[in-house]
């Protein structure tokens, strides 16, 4: 029986569709509603290890590596819901040969009961997803960790601007995930979490642009036409089916366009700040409160960044000084410089100002501004014949920035003969990742004549790792341990051991939060050299030093 005109036209249309697919792919397969292969052509034997005839009638899921089966299933389901999926990276098993790493794009059409058409490209032709370090991946789900996810979102802004394509970011708050874990066994809870991670990956750009920012907070970067409502429903249904009570999860979502509304650097800072704000929230900043979307957050952050930069450029902030005194004779040894914003309001506290600077990557600029002010104060005292030693705080994050180090040394070249009076306190020591490189920087500062103090020193192996790796002149003992030392049974022994260890290393110690004579005498008894706290003086504008030549 011969083919009629209609059949010829259909064959022509399919061949044309395949030709278009081959413009970007090595092979092409057609699946029925049950994901069984009904048609295959192109380099399928090279990619799958089987000929087109051998593939016909086989379930496509049988061809991929076990670890990718759920990802493929989620991608195919996504196509049925929204018409397309991909790109998604998959490994195709080829018998005894090494698995082929393939990028897959899929389109679903409601013809013949439903057909899914997949274009396959070997990853030699497509940029591969970069290998991620262990710290870049959430170990429980395999999704990107917060920092790596933020970088992906930043790249999407730039890629979208360059190519004219639109990418969105969806943040998801899975309220009730901890309660769900308690209502099910661990295996079920792990399976649900794994399924959710798979759905997010399958719907993200390149199948590798989804992240987990906190236990219950997730995100994905995706094409602008993704049906987020359908994805949200899939996650909700998955949780309900696994929950013995049928309650499941409350899935909150907010989708925002990743657009270049500012400079590349400020876009990155604003994005980092927003994701940090979202991931660190504990009920006071839920995703359901982002009703005006991410653009509102960007606008707010852009205003804050501009205001912060203006504050630094115009020196529109004050510096106050708190004395550090020798416990033996109560004479002032030096002062710590502390910032005081001139503006009032809930966000104007020194802590919030510094935290914001760290979150948006402006802490180096702030540390330099403080250093300039302190240098000016020391020089002014010199002109009056006074020698005043003042310590400036340097964030551990600043010390890991080569650009900051270059600018800092430019400032220090203008110090002249006041190097001995300009000290530095290294803060946020827990955030220092490259201790060896940081120690070289500190060694360079000490060689120039500056004394260096390690701030917030406390208990634990990490603290002693910093003490071993970083060569410093002083260690400031965290006030928490000073306060607890008087009430905990082993507190005195602990502080005495800490002070003794530092003394053996030739390092002097400073105790924080000294508010009573009892604390001051106690610190002196256990061997701490200096004290800082309200007993000796609150932070203020005035400083007094020793007359030069006296």
pLDDT digits (tens, 9 = 90+) for 231-249: 888 888 888 988 889 888 8
- Chain segment 347-371, per-residue pLDDT in tens: 578 888 888 888 778 899 999 999 9
Phi-psi region of 14 (alpha: psi -120 to 50; beta: other; left: phi over 0): alpha
d(CA 444, CA 437): 11
What pLDDT score was predicted for residue 405?
A: 94
- Chain segment 24-57, per-residue pLDDT in tens: 577 888 999 899 999 888 888 888 888 889 999 9
3-state secondary structure 121-178: EECCCCCCCCCCCHHHECCCCCCECHHHHHHHHHHHHHHHHHHCCCEEEEEEEEECHH
Cβ contacts of 383 within 8 Å, gap of 6 or more: none
What pLDDT score was predicted for residue 94?
A: 81
Map residue 276 onto helix, strand or coil: helix
What pLDDT score was predicted for residue 48?
A: 86
Query: Is the per-residue pLDDT at 261 higher than 70?
Result: no
Q: Average per-residue pLDDT in the chain?
A: 81
What pLDDT score was predicted for residue 421?
A: 95
Split at pLDDT 50, 70, 90, the class of 476 is very high
Tokens representing residue 377 in the block: 């104060």
Count other Cβ atoms within 10 Å, centred on residue 115.
16
Q: Using an 8 Å Cβ cutoff, are 246 and 184 in contact? A: no
Looking at residues 226-232, what average pLDDT do you find?
Answer: 85
Q: How far is CA 19 from CA 42, 365, 409, in A?
A: 10, 55, 61
How remote is the C-alpha of 336 from its chain's centroid?
30
User: pLDDT higher for 266 or 453?
Assistant: 453
Split at pLDDT 50, 70, 90, the class of 494 is confident
What pLDDT score was predicted for residue 130?
A: 44
Split at pLDDT 50, 70, 90, the class of 488 is confident
Query: Is the per-residue pLDDT at 146 higher than 50?
Result: yes
Tokens representing residue 139 in the block: 């170990």
Tokens representing residue 435 in the block: 């201790």
Query: Is the per-residue pLDDT at 202 higher than 50?
Result: yes
DSSP class of 64: B
Question: To which H or E segment does residue 115 belong?
Answer: strand 115-122
Q: How far is CA 376 from CA 147, 317, 416, in A?
A: 37, 14, 12
Domains of the chain: 5-122 (3.30.450.20), 134-291 (3.30.70.270), 307-547 (3.20.20.450)
d(CA 545, CA 261): 50
Looking at residues 223-237, what average pLDDT do you find?
Answer: 86
Query: Is the per-residue pLDDT at 403 higher than 70?
Result: yes
Q: How far is CA 109 from CA 81, 114, 118, 316, in A?
A: 11, 6, 11, 62
Handedness of CA 460, 462, 467, 468 (dihedral sign): positive
Cβ contacts of 471 within 8 Å, gap of 6 or more: 439, 442, 443, 446, 452
Tokens representing residue 125 in the block: 């032709």
Split at pLDDT 50, 70, 90, the class of 262 is low
Listed range (84-93, 121-130, 244-253, 333-342) with the worst mean pLDDT: 121-130
Cβ contacts of 47 within 8 Å, gap of 6 or more: 26, 27, 92, 94, 100, 102, 120, 122
d(CA 345, CA 304): 13
Sheet holding 37-42, edge to edge: 37-42, 27-31, 115-122, 97-109, 84-94
Tokens representing residue 378 in the block: 């020391």
Its pTM stands at: 0.57
Map residue 342 onto helix, strand or coil: coil
Query: Is the per-residue pLDDT at 7 higher than 60?
Result: no
User: pLDDT higher for 299 or 525?
Assistant: 525
Q: Using an 8 Å Cβ cutoff, are 437 and 400 in contact? A: yes
Split at pLDDT 50, 70, 90, the class of 428 is low
Tokens representing residue 432 in the block: 């220092």
d(CA 257, CA 157): 9
Tell me whether residue 45 is exposed, middle or buried, using C-beta atoms within 10 angstroms of its C-beta: 0 to 12, 13 to 18, 19 or more. middle
Tokens representing residue 383 in the block: 């002109």
Query: Is the per-residue pLDDT at 9 higher than 70?
Result: no
User: pLDDT higher for 26 or 374?
Assistant: 374
d(CA 137, CA 135): 6
Handedness of CA 23, 24, 26, 29 (dihedral sign): negative
What pLDDT score was predicted for residue 124?
A: 44
**Highest mean pLDDT of the ranges 76-90, 300-314, 396-410:** 396-410
Q: Using an 8 Å Cβ cutoff, are 320 and 541 in contact? A: yes
User: pLDDT higher for 439 or 225?
Assistant: 439
Query: Is the per-residue pLDDT at 198 higher than 90?
Result: no
Map residue 60 onto helix, strand or coil: helix
């Amino acid at each position: 029986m011969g083919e009629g005109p209609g059949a010829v036209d259909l064959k022509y249309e399919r061949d044309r569709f395949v030709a278009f697919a081959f413009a970007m792919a090595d092979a092409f397969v057609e699946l029925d509603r049950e994901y069984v292969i009904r048609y295959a052509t192109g380099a399928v034997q090279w990619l799958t290890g089987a000929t087109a005839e051998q593939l016909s009638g086989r379930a496509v899921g049988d061809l991929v590596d076990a670890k990718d089966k759920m990802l493929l299933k989620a991608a195919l389901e996504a196509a049925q819901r929204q018409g397309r999926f991909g790109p998604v990276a998959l490994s195709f098993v080829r018998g005894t040969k090494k698995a082929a790493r393939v990028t897959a794009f899929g389109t679903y059409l409601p013809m013949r009961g439903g057909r899914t058409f997949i274009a396959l490209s070997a990853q030699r032709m497509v940029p591969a997803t970069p290998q991620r370090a262990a710290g870049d991946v959430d170990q429980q789900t395999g999704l990107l960790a917060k920092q790596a996810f933020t970088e992906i979102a930043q790249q999407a802004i730039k890629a979208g601007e360059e190519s004219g394509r639109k990418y969105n970011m969806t943040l998801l708050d899975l309220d009730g995930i901890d309660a769900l874990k308690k209502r099910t066994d661990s295996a079920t809870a792990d399976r649900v979490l794994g399924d959710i991670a798979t759905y997010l990956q399958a719907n993200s750009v390149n199948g590798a642009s989804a992240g987990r920012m906190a236990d219950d907070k997730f995100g994905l970067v995706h094409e602008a036409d993704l049906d987020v409502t359908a994805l949200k429903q899939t996650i909700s249904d998955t949780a309900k089916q696994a929950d013995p009570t049928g309650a499941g999860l409350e899935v909150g979502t907010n989708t925002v366009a990743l657009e270049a509304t500012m400079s590349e650097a400020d876009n990155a800072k604003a994005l980092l700040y927003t994701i940090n704000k979202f991931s660190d929230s504990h009920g006071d900043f839920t995703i359901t409160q982002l009703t005006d979307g991410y653009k509102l957050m960007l606008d707010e952050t852009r205003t804050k960044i501009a205001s912060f930069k203006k504050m630094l450029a115009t020196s529109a902030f004050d510096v106050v000084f708190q004395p550090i005194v020798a416990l033996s004779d109560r004479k002032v040894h030096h002062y710590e410089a502390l910032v005081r914003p001139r503006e009032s309001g809930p966000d104007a506290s020194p802590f919030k100002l510094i935290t914001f600077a760290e979150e948006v990557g402006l802490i180096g600029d702030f540390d330099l501004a403080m250093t300039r002010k302190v240098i000016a104060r020391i020089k002014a005292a010199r002109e009056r014949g006074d020698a005043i030693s003042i310590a400036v705080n340097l964030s551990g994050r600043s010390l890991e920035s080569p650009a900051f180090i270059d600018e800092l040394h430019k400032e220090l070249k203008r110090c002249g003969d006041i190097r001995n009076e300009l000290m530095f306190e290294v803060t946020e020591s827990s955030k220092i990742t490259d201790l060896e490189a940081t120690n070289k920087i500190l060694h360079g500062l000490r060689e120039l004549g500056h004394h260096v103090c390690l701030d917030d020193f406390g208990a634990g192996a990490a603290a002693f790792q910093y003490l071993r790796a970083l060569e410093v002149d002083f260690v400031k003992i965290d006030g928490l341990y000073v306060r607890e030392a008087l009430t905990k049974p082993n507190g005195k022994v602990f502080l005495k051991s800490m002070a003794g260890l530092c003394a053996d290393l030739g390092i002097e110690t400073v105790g924080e939060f000294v508010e009573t004579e009892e604390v001051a005498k106690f610190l002196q008894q256990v061997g701490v050299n200096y004290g800082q706290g309200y007993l000796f003086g609150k932070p203020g504008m005035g400083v007094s030093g020793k007359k030069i030549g006296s």
